[in-house]
Amino acid sequence: MSGLSGRIEDGRHCFPLRVYYEDTDSGGIVYYANYLKFAERARTEMLRLVGINQTEMAQRHDAVFAVRDCAIDYRRPARLDDVLEVRSRLVEIGAATLSAEQAIHRGDDEIARLDVRIACLRRDGRPIRIPASVRSALSPYCETT
């Protein structure tokens, strides 16, 4: 599977992107918070690729995803015009949370690594179980369910 949403390869979602001027500081290095944006885009496209429409999920199940916590290890800087790839994999699906590992690569070099836990919430912010249809769509791509 591939296209605008990236591709799934060996159980891992791969999402390509290019670093634009707007992503960088005055020295042409990617501003640290933008790595979080890159990872968020990749997770969103991974959901889209496996058939999860987040707008529909909110309307149908009153359920949304929100980052509960995130740890990021910045290893090397990305720079203007670099072509990057965010590689994401689900490591656990709990009752109301997802855990993912994401790595941002420039070629063979891993430049940042993120460990992310995502909570499933009602739109009012209270925790809710992950809807069965969403769990079912994600389970084939998770190490532990």
Sign of the C-alpha dihedral computed for residues 120, 122, 126 and 131 taken in this order: negative
Cβ contact 73:118 at 8 Å = no
Cβ contact 72:112 at 8 Å = yes
Burial class (CB in 10 A: 0-12, 13-18, 19+), 4: exposed
Instruction: Kindly name the residue from 25, 69, 73, 109 that is annotated as catalytic.
Output: 25
Burial class (CB in 10 A: 0-12, 13-18, 19+), 97: middle
Active site residue 62: no
Task: Give catalytic residues, as residue numbers.
Answer: 25
